[in-house]
Amino acid sequence: MFYSCLGARNQTGIQGTDVNLTCTNKTWSEIFFVIWNITLHHRECTISLKDDGQSRNTCGGNWALLNTSSGEPYLLIPNISPHDEGLYECQVAYKEGTHSVNISLILLVSPRVSAWLKWQGSKRVAVCVAEKGKPAASVHWRISGNLTTPQTKLQELPGGFYTVRSVLELPEDTAEENVTCVVNHPSWEEEHTIRAVHLRCECIDLLY
């Protein structure tokens, strides 16, 4: 009996890490060929391998079709960067049928985080910035007392990057060591915290 199956999913990769894309749990004892048709923002290319060892790679670079220790094929994308984002279509032919999977590879880029205190007129405020993350980071404050609502602004940058800036007005009796910015991002397993403990003079402020 001959089977045909089509699936689709998203897969994320953190910038600078290696990504393994898999589309079947079949091994080469059952597979006739594997073909990856890849559509990126700037080009299209193909990587394929047959059970007789014939291979084709128009993608170049260090991309390669490899096997796990048990013989299951996967596509290795080393040191992932924005150039590797796109659609990866895998086609596998094996003894019982065919299997196709469309994988959208999405890049995650950790933001650079900084926080500081400054005077805004006669008011003291805390500023927290998560710069050039992909996607946008989530920013909030951890502090006790009666506070005003933070003013948070999102700036979209070229290439799908984002900068998030949060400004919080502080009561006069707030101790500097108790002002903590909390940032969450999909590229991190845990939240990142940073204390805003230094007064800074900002002569040019483009985002606020």
* 69 or 12, greater pLDDT: 12
Asked whether residue 176 carries a pLDDT value surpassing 80, the answer given is no
Asked whether residue 102 carries a pLDDT value surpassing 60, the answer given is yes
* 98 or 6, greater pLDDT: 98
pLDDT of residue 141: 93
C-alpha span between 1 and 80 (Å, rounded): 39
Which of 108, 128, 158 delimits the end of a domain?
108
The answer to whether residue 203 is domain-embedded is no
Which domain CATH number covers 166? 2.60.40.10
pLDDT of residue 177: 77
What is the number of domains present in the chain? 2
The answer to whether residue 204 is domain-embedded is no
The answer to whether residue 201 is domain-embedded is no
pLDDT of residue 49: 92
Note whether 24 and 60 are same-domain residues: yes
pLDDT of residue 110: 97
Note whether 76 and 16 are same-domain residues: yes
* 12 or 1, greater pLDDT: 12
Domain extent for 62: 3-108
Note whether 24 and 86 are same-domain residues: yes
- Average pLDDT of span 70-97: 92
Do residues 167 and 147 make contact, with C-beta atoms less than 8 angstroms apart?
Answer: no
Q: pLDDT tens digits for 118-152?
A: 988 888 899 999 999 999 999 999 887 666 789 99
pLDDT > 70: percent of the chain: 90
Do residues 153 and 207 make contact, with C-beta atoms less than 8 angstroms apart?
Answer: yes
Asked whether residue 204 carries a pLDDT value surpassing 50, the answer given is no
Asked whether residue 208 carries a pLDDT value surpassing 70, the answer given is no
The CA–CA distances, whole Å, from 112 to 136, 142, 164, 187 equal 11, 19, 10, 12
pLDDT of residue 146: 64
Which of 59, 82, 108 delimits the end of a domain?
108
C-alpha span between 133 and 110 (Å, rounded): 5
Angle at 100 between CA 96 and CA 103, to 5 degrees: 150
